[in-house]
Amino acid sequence: MVNQLLRALFIVIIVRPLVLLAMGLNIRRRELLPAQGPAVIVANHNSHLDTLVILSLFPLRLLPKVRPVAAADYFLRNPLLAWFALNIIGIIPVKRVTRGGNPLASSFEALQRGEILIIFPEGSRGNPEELTQFKKGIAIISKKFPDVPISPLFLHGLGKALPRGEAVFVPFFCDAFVGSPRHWSGETESFIKALEQQMSDLAAEGRFPVWK
């Protein structure tokens, strides 16, 4: 309960003012975000701000159920960062390389508990506003849970507000586009291609100028 309270305070006192005032986030079709779990949100990944922005979109009552999936080797190297990531951000750590076992087992368990996962199917943070090929993990999850909705979310501008490799935040207007949820289609390649196309369509919706 203490960690849940600290998480809510962090979102309300720090994250939401940052998102609303410093970044002026404009969200399209907020009503398409999951209202309950189990569910999965897939988003493009350009900045460490991505996760915080997505968390800020949910009502406080749902925060305990919203769980970002992140690489364990990055967040767990420093004890203080590990505590913050696990208890305040609420990440589900995933090992990039495992010897035996299923690296997605914790994600499966979270969905079985009725939680809402945040997944960045591109993997590592890419160049700002450049979509890259999705990895197969999201297809494995959807195949395992075919009734769980997969909601695409395209984020624009966060790669400029806090680019990869930078530690200084730059106030910059940002946008979020929520797409219609989809379900497992029965075949891995077609499922991933359809999800990638849906993300590309969301990116094109804003008609943003080419990133320079």
Q: What is the pLDDT of residue 132?
A: 80
Q: What is the pLDDT of residue 113?
A: 96
Q: Does 147 have pLDDT greater than 80?
A: yes
Q: What is the pLDDT of residue 158?
A: 76
Q: What are the residue ranges spanned by the domains of the chain?
A: 2-205
Beta bridge partners of 131: none
The CA distance from 169 to 163, in Å, is 8
Residues 6+ apart with CB under 8 A from 36: 62, 114, 116
Q: What is the fold, at CATH topology level, of the domain defined by 2-205?
A: Glycerol-3-phosphate (1)-acyltransferase (3.40.1130)
Q: pLDDT for 156-204, tens place per residue?
A: 887 665 656 555 555 567 889 999 999 998 899 999 999 999 999 998 8
Q: pLDDT for 1-59, tens place per residue?
A: 788 889 889 899 988 888 887 777 889 999 999 999 999 999 998 777 888 899 999 99
Range in 21-35, 42-56, 104-118, 120-134 with the lowest mean pLDDT? 120-134
Asked whether the whole model's pTM tops 0.85, one would answer yes
The CA distance from 45 to 63, in Å, is 20
Q: What is the pLDDT of residue 24?
A: 79
Range in 76-80, 151-155, 194-198 with the lowest mean pLDDT? 76-80
Spatial contact of 112 and 165, defined as CB atoms under 8 Å apart: no
The CA distance from 150 to 144, in Å, is 12
**Average pLDDT of the segment spanning 90-104:** 78
Q: Does 105 have pLDDT greater than 70?
A: yes
Helices within 57-187 (DSSP H only): 72-75, 79-84, 105-112, 137-144, 158-161
